Amino acid sequence: MKVYTTDQIRNIAIIGNAGSGKTTLAESMLFEGGVINRRGEVTSKNTVSDYNQIEQDFGNTVFSTLLYTEYNNKKINILDTPGMDDLCGGVVSSLNVTDLGLLLINATNGVEAGTEGAYRRAETSNAPLIFVFNQLDHDNSNFDKSLEQCKASFGNKVTVVQYPLDAGPGFTAIIDVLKMKMFKYGTEGGKPEVLDIPASEKDKADELHNELVEMAAENEEALMELYFDQGSLSEDDMRKGMKMGMLQRDLYPVFCTGAKKNMGVGRLLEFVSNIAPAPNEVPMRKIIDGKEVKMEAGDKPTLFVFKTTIESHVGEITYFKVMSGTITEGLDLINSNTGNKERLSQVFVAAGKTRDKVDKLVAGDLGCTVKLKDTKYNASLSEKDADTKFEEIVFPTPRHTIALKAVNDSDDEKVGEVLNKLKFEDPTYLIEYSKELKQLLVHNQGEYHLNTLKWFFDNIHKIEVDHIQPKIPYRETITKSEQSDYRHKKQSGGAGQFGEVHMIIEPIIEGSEPKKMFNIKGKDQKIALRDVQEHPLAWGGKLEFVNSIVGGSIDARFLPAILKGIMEKMEEGP
């Protein structure tokens, strides 16, 4: 592969509801760029993106997958993301390292829950968007209704650049109101003929073209003046205005595809290569510590890790974005999170499970390396003494919790090891052992997330586990004073053992002091307050531990053991 400069790189994330055709679109993009010579299909389980066995079994993308294609003298890095909301971690990480989102709309369903979720995550990441209306060749496809729903949900920023001619099973043509041409495809897709717009569509195309010109002109005063003077804009001026509008999230261009038959994909790639922002045209990721760097190939090398996986026979694979400088094989960097040195023994570009070795990657590019010692997602790597640290990705907090228990007690330790590996790859899991409940808790995103968890235990690790509802942490508190005593007496053949202990428990009333008089064996007795310690409790509140031992009747060395026993009993409950 040739070495691309920063301004020749485009980084895009394909997002949207499950079933909108994201993986199929990615497959056609790789085919258009010549990275593959034959398009796979999700149903045939042979796509470049969905190469994991779990994805082939589920029929859905489970992990975000790094791909690339080459088009129009540009390298376009693609992150194909899951559509199920339970698997949102891959969407979040992808939007944090790309510069443009392709939001897919299933034209048979319009705006779906996953569409809105993907849009919100793009909004949080401040990512420019292109709306791609896909599956226009399917039964019940309805472009106009889907467009109306998008405008109602996301506003009039959703602006038509293309619309289909005869959406449905007979779909073979796309009207492009930027180029003012019609792209005509064969019934099985392929390369289109570029034709004049039919007379029957001319009025509609002119109206949409004028709307697009106005939207493009609104983004710069000079373009607006030119528009008022000439009544229109050249295609180059429109590109300039559209790019500014996309960067400001004031314009969401609408494109049309039938990705399964590779209809409209080449034109979409052309638009991305010409108008989508390069990595140095968007704001740099925030630096929270260390030396400042710029998105330039000549600056000091830094990278940011957005994804880590474990592959059998290979080990850990680390996916990163080059934030500055040039990354080369054999480069030594410091993990700014841990302070440990890491050597990039090899540098790769990735298309699914295929990794191609390259000599170097420049600022803005995405790539991967293998066998780093102590680096995972959210790590920043930089040269010694630079200590540049980038803002970390904030992953969604868990929404659901289950307790996990190995069916065979001998597998308990293995269960913990498997969970740690899964969390290494998916940071939206939170693993916790609850001392209070005495259960291993897996905080997760929901039922589908749990289904993937079960699949890994069943199919990869061959460990049988039960999913159990977590116990309810019922809690009790002291409401009145009580006291207890215990007499220990043991004859061991020598001097023997004898001891008598009295313990008094009472509720704490803020501002009050421990009582100094208690009734012991029917007699009121004054108690000395030798020492009062406060111990915060993990579940809330505090324990006041009052030492009233006098005369050395109990050795002070036993006091920590007494306190420990009280704390353990409090945690256990009655």
Any idea where the domains of the chain sit in the sequence?
6-203+250-281, 287-390, 400-468, 482-572
Query: At residue 552, does pLDDT exceed 70?
Result: no
CA–CA distance from 542 to each of 438, 483, 538, 539, 563 (Å)?
21, 19, 9, 9, 13
Summarize pLDDT for 312-335 with one digit per residue, the tens: 889 999 999 999 999 999 999 999
CB 216 within 8 A of CB 222: no
CA–CA distance from 225 to each of 207, 241, 243 (Å)?
20, 12, 18
pLDDT of res. 553: 64
Whether 287-390 and 6-203+250-281 are alike in CATH topology: the answer is no
Integer Cα distance of 459 and 453 in angstroms: 10
CB 551 within 8 A of CB 564: no
91 phi, psi to nearest 5 deg: -70, -45
Hey, what CATH topology would domain 287-390 get?
Answer: Elongation Factor Tu (Ef-tu); domain 3 (2.40.30)
Query: At residue 38, does pLDDT exceed 80?
Result: yes
Please indicate whether residue 573 or residue 22 has the higher confidence score (pLDDT): 22
Percent of the chain topping pLDDT 90: 73
Beta-bridged to residue 440, according to DSSP, are 404, 433
pLDDT of res. 487: 82
pLDDT of res. 526: 80
User: Tokens in use for 343?
Assistant: 């050597």
User: Tokens in use for 258?
Assistant: 């039938």
Q: For the chain, what is the largest distance between any 2 Cα atoms, rounded to a whole number of angstroms? A: 115
Which among 307, 318, 309, 377 has a CA at the least distance from the CA of 343?
318
Task: Give alpha helix (H) positions in 174-289.
Answer: 199-217, 221-230, 235-247, 265-275
E strand or H helix at 416: helix 412-425
Q: For 313, what's the count of Cα atoms within 13 Å in the CB-facing half-sphere?
A: 1
Beta-bridged to residue 316, according to DSSP, are 310
Beta-bridged to residue 131, according to DSSP, are 103, 254
Torsion over CA: 297, 303, 308, 314 (sign) = positive
Q: Which residues of 80-111 are buried (b: 16+ CB within 10 A; e: fewer)?
A: bbbbbbbbbbbbbbbbbbbbbbbbbbbbbbbb
pLDDT of res. 499: 74
pTM equals 0.87
Compute how many other C-beta atoms are within 10 angstroms of the C-beta atom of residue 482.
10
pLDDT band at 236 (very low <50, low <70, confident <90, very high): confident
User: Domain 400-468 is of which CATH architecture?
Assistant: 2-Layer Sandwich (3.30)
E strand or H helix at 176: strand 173-176
Average pLDDT over residues 414-443: 93
Summarize pLDDT for 145-162 with one digit per residue, the tens: 999 999 999 999 999 999
Average pLDDT over residues 226-235: 83
In degrees, rounded to 5, the angle at the alpha carbon of residue 46 between the alpha carbons of residues 42 and 50 is: 65
pLDDT of res. 223: 87
Q: For 494, what's the count of Cα atoms within 13 Å in the CB-facing half-sphere?
A: 2
Pairing of strands 380-382, 331-335: antiparallel
Query: At residue 199, does pLDDT exceed 80?
Result: yes
Query: At residue 375, does pLDDT exceed 90?
Result: yes
Query: At residue 556, does pLDDT exceed 80?
Result: no
Torsion over CA: 300, 304, 309, 310 (sign) = positive
CB 135 within 8 A of CB 20: yes
The DSSP symbol for 177 reads: T
Mean pLDDT of the chain, nearest integer: 92
pLDDT of res. 544: 87
pLDDT of res. 414: 93
Summarize pLDDT for 480-524 with one digit per residue, the tens: 888 888 887 877 767 777 777 778 888 887 777 777 777 777 778
**Residue 423, amino acid:** K
Integer Cα distance of 466 and 360 in angstroms: 47
Query: At residue 249, does pLDDT exceed 80?
Result: yes
pLDDT of res. 210: 92
Average pLDDT over residues 251-256: 98
Integer Cα distance of 204 and 163 in angstroms: 10
Q: For 62, what's the count of Cα atoms within 13 Å in the CB-facing half-sphere?
A: 21
pLDDT band at 551 (very low <50, low <70, confident <90, very high): low
Task: Spell out the residues 6+ positions from residue 531 whose beta carbon is closer than 8 angstroms to its own.
Answer: 546, 547
Taking each helix axis from N to C end, the angle separating 235-247 and 221-230, rounded to the nearest 10 degrees, works out to 150
Query: At residue 226, does pLDDT exceed 90?
Result: no
The DSSP symbol for 396 reads: P
Average pLDDT over residues 158-187: 95
How distant is the alpha carbon of residue 188 from its chain centre?
A: 36
Query: At residue 358, does pLDDT exceed 70?
Result: yes
Residues recorded for the chain: 574
Integer Cα distance of 89 and 352 in angstroms: 18
Query: At residue 352, does pLDDT exceed 90?
Result: yes
Which string of DSSP letters, residue by residue, matches 436-458? TTTEEEEEES-HHHHHHHHHIII
Collapsing DSSP states into helix, strand and coil, what is residue 532?
strand
pLDDT of res. 43: 94
Region of poorest pLDDT, from 21-35, 79-93, 222-236: 222-236
In degrees, rounded to 5, the angle at the alpha carbon of residue 69 between the alpha carbons of residues 68 and 70 is: 135
Taking each helix axis from N to C end, the angle separating 235-247 and 199-217, rounded to the nearest 10 degrees, works out to 50
Taking each helix axis from N to C end, the angle separating 113-124 and 89-97, rounded to the nearest 10 degrees, works out to 40
The CA-based dihedral angle spanning residues 506, 507, 513, 515, taken in that order and rounded to the nearest 10 degrees: -20
CB 345 within 8 A of CB 315: no
The most confident of 184-188, 333-337, 382-386, 544-548, by mean pLDDT: 333-337
Query: At residue 378, does pLDDT exceed 90?
Result: yes
Domain 6-203+250-281 class?
alpha beta
Query: At residue 201, does pLDDT exceed 70?
Result: yes
